[in-house]
Structure 1
């Protein structure tokens, strides 16, 4: 009888723990991690070494040794924040993608990838696009469902073009950053924040790598949909170089208001008039849901003009107020109100 009672209790509580258990942040190991650690050259541990330590270690290597290491472990070198940008591009070079500046590439599972538009070595201002649910390596260039304007690579290119149009003289770069395993669909995983918490760990390392030798660099994070939750989880642990966080089409950021993000960065929020996230209830119960929508005035975010934006994925369409405003924010320029 006791055994039956225990079994019944397990059957009842397991689904509840699956749904309502605590949020877990797991930093994935890079490809070929164990081989890298076992190498007789005593290579730095990507899981524990800071981006500053990685940078200093690579700088200490003779060019020939660094080249050999890149050739032996392109999967590790190409995904290691702190490694010189040019070396990461070389490690991630793909004959199928000639001329592309690929900052990270991991083909395992759904895949991870980050692409740079502009000169990241000279850029004073950098914008990082964080995509949302169901974005993966297979649709990074083509867009979810084959819809071009849903593709992070296309979106980043539009933002970079807008930046160059507004201010041709300022060195800028845009990173389309699929650096975390997004939820596969708008189901249980998308209602929880485990993916966001894990993504935040990777985002923190990205920002640390971008600013370690450039304390003057200014960074704008743009989180689309679930990507805004990734930015929210990382916000309190990012340095002052992150001056602005923009949430577009956000289902909530996992906190009740802007103050709960504990960041000095300005927070902007925008949502198209017909974006389906506007219909979400704005609640969070037992770890499900993401709380008040950041476009709610009570949240305390600055309003991003989106009156002429269409749908959940139209924020980067050329000619829209949303694209123009995001570019101005990334450049440190004033943004006109919706009126």
Structure 2
């Protein structure tokens, strides 16, 4: 029954999380930056070398100051930045640790202001010298992050591949290289020959190269899009095994939204809205050994909050309409994030949900209470109530989407049903039509049953014994 949460690919090996990295560990100097001069000796004062970026080291120390680190990144000489970069491991552990430490102390709006105040020359130096930091700092423009993360990916791939087969090879290097190669395959467009993979450009807006890895790939321009949809996956999704598929899913939704935006925009004033869809794999999802509690969902919710705060900060002067569309365990993760009081979105869709941590849609920070739920007739996870309230009951207060298919009331085209746990994002389904319209702010055009908060819903079955016929009534 639990295998219903596997999306196309099989069960991944349980990931091994490496121990935390401290930036003060001595390492051999890295090769000089491509196109950069070799850093000269550190400046000397009273016979001693002056550490220009000592504030960016020792990220696990209680005395670490992210503001001091950013200030030194602003003021240090270009050679000093390059010397600092040469002390970081090229495969990304140090960059991940530094980004996490800065993110814990500096909110995205402050990071956005910091980046905005930098001169063009300094931005170029930092993006080239420490791409793993610039590419993953929430608040930095996404075009900058994409360029930096692509370099970060190249550097990490070269470093890991270069160790394999040598005395320096580490036990996890083959798995790590395979993960990085999947990120590259996603970006290279190798999947564009796959039907419904999407045709818009892809951008790597987040990358953590530490196993099991985290990433976010945007289909469409996240810096300028009028409507942004963030797709949050459920259990058994890993960068190594599902990033290509999840990005193809984002591409299919992007094209569906773009088609509807053009169709609906013809009858209204102004230009046709532009769209971007984020294939967000920004947290470690559970496998069959650790799905039974909310630990990973809680950590994932913190990452999701950070990503949404980063979007708000990066687009503060031109706010897009933002929707979160979350599947399975990811839907529970989304309810944690949107009940935290830190972030809000314009629309929320909970697909095949094993439960919400809050009992009422009104407890979620969704502007205008634009909350939807979907539960396919043959989805054994939806309706289980394993982690809390079932969003697809009338009592929760969400609009329960019709999943059975039929004829499109606007275009007349035939729509397939979305009945199983992995059908919600399948091209040509009524579900994908509904997701596209909701993401554009046209939820009024979807077919669904309005919620009835306060009404008692049916008693939720237990996940381990739920049968398809137990939830068949939903369609």
Q: Which residue of 2 aligns with 1:313?
A: 422
Describe the SS at the equivalent of 2:324: strand
> Conserved in 2, the CA contact under 8 Å of 1:101 and 1:116?
yes
Match of 1:295 in 2: 392
**1:68-93 CA distance string (max 9 Å, x none):** 21222222221111111111001111
Q: Secondary structure at the match of 2:273?
A: coil
> 2:216 is matched with which residue?
114
Q: Deviations over 1:199-232 (max 9, x none)?
A: 1111112112212224632100001001111110
Shift of 1:32: 7.3
Alpha carbons of structure 1 residues 40 and 234: separation in structure 2 relative to 1, 3 Å: closer
Distance change >3 Å, CA 123–CA 299, structure 1 → 2 = same
Q: Do the aligned residues in 1 keep the contact of 2:375 with 2:383 (CA within 8 Å)?
A: no
Q: Gaps spanning 5+ residues in structure 1: where?
A: 1-27, 143-150, 283-288
CA drift at 1:67: 1.7
* TM-score (norm. length: structure 1): 0.79
Match of 1:329 in 2: 438
Match of 1:46 among 89, 103, 111: 103
Q: Does 1:206 align with 2:307?
A: yes
CA drift at 1:120: 1.3
Superposition deviation, residue 180 in structure 1: 1.0
Equivalent residue, structure 1, for 2:349: 246
The 3-state SS of whatever aligns with 1:92 is: helix
Deviation at 1:57, TM superposition (A): 0.9
Q: Which has the higher contact order (CA 8 A, sep 6+)?
A: 1
Which range moves more in the overlay, 292-301 or 318-327?
A: 292-301
Q: 1:268, 1:302 within 8 Å by CA — same for their partners in 2?
A: yes
In structure 1, distance between residues paired with 2:134 and 2:373: 35
Q: Which runs of 5+ in 2 are unaligned?
A: 1-16, 25-54, 58-68, 74-100, 155-183, 189-200, 263-271, 405-416, 450-475
CA contact (8 A) 1:207 1:238 kept: no
- For residue 235 of structure 2, the aligned residue among 112, 130, 133 is 133
Q: Secondary structure of 1:110's match?
A: coil
Residue equivalent to 1:16: none
In the TM superposition, what are the counterparts of 1:265-276 in structure 2 within 5 Å?
265-276=369-380
> Is the alpha carbon distance of 1:332 and 1:41 closer, same or farther for their aligned partners in structure 2, counting shifts above 3 Å?
closer
Residue 226 (structure 1) aligns with: 329
How far apart in 1 are the matches of 2:332 and 2:312? 22
SS at match of 2:237: coil
Q: Is the 8 A contact 1:33 1:76 kept in 2?
A: no
Give the structure 1 partner of residue 119 of structure 2. Answer: 62
Give the count of matched residue pairs: 292
Out of 210-219 and 94-103, give the one that drifted further: 94-103
In 2, distance between residues paired with 1:278 and 1:53? 40
CA displacement at 1:279 relative to structure 2: 6.0
TM-score, with length taken from structure 2: 0.57
**Residues 91-123 of structure 1, C-alpha deviation per residue, up to 9 Å, x if partnerless?**
111563336310001121111010011111211
Deviations 1:116-161 (A, max 9, x none): 111112111100000011111102334xxxxxxxx31121111101
SS at match of 1:58: helix
SS at match of 1:191: coil
Residues 227 and 33 from structure 1, CA distance in 2 versus in 1: closer, same or farther, beyond 3 angstroms? farther
Aligned to 2:33: none
Greater Rg by CA: 2
Distance 1:271 1:257 in 2: 17
Choose which of 190, 196, 211 in structure 1 pairs with 2:291: 190
CA distance in 2 between counterparts of 1:214 and 1:125 reads 15
CA shift for structure 1 position 323: 0.5
Q: 1:46 to 1:261 in 2, by over 3 A?
A: closer
SS in 1 for 2:307: helix
Q: Partners in 2 of 1:208 and 1:215 — Cα distance?
A: 14
Give the direction of change, closer, same or farther, for the CA distance of 1:217–1:329 in structure 2 (3 Å limit): same
Root-mean-square deviation (CA, aligned residues, Å) is: 2.5
Provide closer, same or farther for how the CA distance between residues 258 and 33 of structure 1 changes in structure 2, counting only shifts above 3 A.
farther
Distance verdict in 2 for CA 1:224–1:33, change over 3 Å: farther
SS at match of 1:66: helix
Q: Tell me whether 1:37 sits opposite 2:37 in the alignment.
A: no
